[in-house]
Every structure is written in C-alpha cells, then in structure tokens.
Amino acid sequence: MSHRARFAVFVIGVAGLAVLYVLAAFRLPDFGGRFHPYGERAVTSAIAERTKNVVSSVNFDQRAFDTVGEELILFASALGAVVLLRTVRREREEEAGEHGYGPADVFDALRLTGYALLPVTLLIGVYIVAHGHLSPGGGFQGGVVLGTALHLLYLTGDYPALDRLRPVPAFEAGEALAAGVFVILGLAGAGLVIPMNAMVGLEVGCAIVLVLTKFFEQALLVRTDEAGKGEGT
C-alpha cells in the first residue's frame, strides 16, 4: 500500500474514531464528580483490612487474582524479550572486559557517585517495597528501583563489575520463583498484601535486570562473525 493510500485510510478511520469518541466523551460523568461507587467500596474495604494505601489494597487484596494475570504478562514478556535477544549461531559473545568498557573512560567523580549511590538506592528500593501497604509505593514501584539500582554500576563505566554482581542464573531463578509464589498467593486468597508486595518487587526487579542484561549484551558484547556486518557500536 502506498504512503498516500495508507494515509487516506488512516484519515478516514481517525475521523470516525474522533467523532465517536467526542460523542462518547460528552456522555461520560462530569470531571471531578462525586459519584464513585467502586472507589468508596474499595476505600471502606481497605480501611477494614488496615491497609492504608488503598491502591495497594485494590491491587494485592481486592483484585489480587487479576494482578496474577498482570504478573504473568510481565513474566511472559520478559521471557519473550530474553528469548528474542539470545545469541544466535552466527554470533559470538565476547567476554565482559575484553574491550575497554572499564573505569578508565569515566570521570572519577561520576564513578564515586555511582558507587556511593548504589547501596542507598538498593535501600530505598527495599523500603518502597516493604512500606507498600502503608505509604505510596509497592512491589511494582520498588522493584523498578531495585532493578535499576544495579545499573548504576554501568553508569560508573564498570561493566565487568556489573557483570560480576549480576549472576544471571540467580536472577532467572528469582524471577521464576517469585512468579510461582505470587500465583500461589493469588490463589490462596485475600489479605496477603505484604508478601505479595515482596514477591512482585522481587519479580519486577529480576525481570528488569534480565531484560536490561540482554539489551546490554546486544549493545556491548554480541558480534556477528561476518566481518563488518552488525558492528553496531
């Protein structure tokens, strides 16, 4: 389909969508209105369960079974990304540190900041996971902090150190274990906000580390054997 034909189809489709959407939008309840029946029930139920963060309560208590589905989406797409980015036969993977990704390229101040922030960031991640039922935060948010914290080591220019601190099989096991335990908790029933938060934190952290590992390998380590092709540095 040519560009022009495709654009014409797009314009027709979008015009229809826009008209229907505007008509629908004006039939929706007023912005900022008072009528929130589900919200009020969720708040009442969360306070009865003493979960002060109602969003956590909805996700891990009232709708825990639905969150299992969300969790499995996360698991499946992390798995998909890892499978897609595996090293294929024509390629070979270099050892970390074969090239100069070492500390030499980075300012000392940046390196020190990275090393100093690593434990602090890990601590904040654990805090956000552990306090998810009381204050804003939870497993998903804290897991992202935990997963990205390790990559401060990459910012310090020390890819070999990141590689040593990040045993991939351990993270794979952690990811699978967390997903399995989460499914069991989700089937077990209500009122398990804290362990579910912890499992989600573990799983999200592991998934991020695994996916970023694969992207890093693609960018830094994987080379195609045919000379000159795929040298994407």
Sites of contact with other proteins (CB under 8 A) = 3, 6-7, 10, 14, 17-18, 21-22, 25-26, 28-34, 36, 38-39, 42-43, 46-47, 52-55, 57-59, 63, 66-67, 70, 73-74, 77-78, 80-81, 84-85, 134-136, 138, 140, 204, 207, 211, 214-215, 218, 224, 229-230, 232
Place of tokens 């908790």: 185
Q: Which is nearer to other proteins, 56 or 156 (CB)?
A: 56
Of 49 and 106, CB closest to other proteins: 49
**What radius of gyration do the chain's Cα atoms show?**
23
d(CA 64, CA 66): 5
Q: φ, ψ for residue 222 (rounded to 5)?
A: -80, 130
Residue closer to other proteins by CB (options 105, 225) is 225
Q: Which of 21, 56, 54, 60 is closest to 38 using CA atoms?
A: 54
Would you say 6 or 99 has its CB closer to other proteins? Answer: 6
How far apart CA 146 and CA 47 sit, in angstroms, is: 29
Min. distance of Cβ 110 from other proteins in angstroms?
Answer: 26
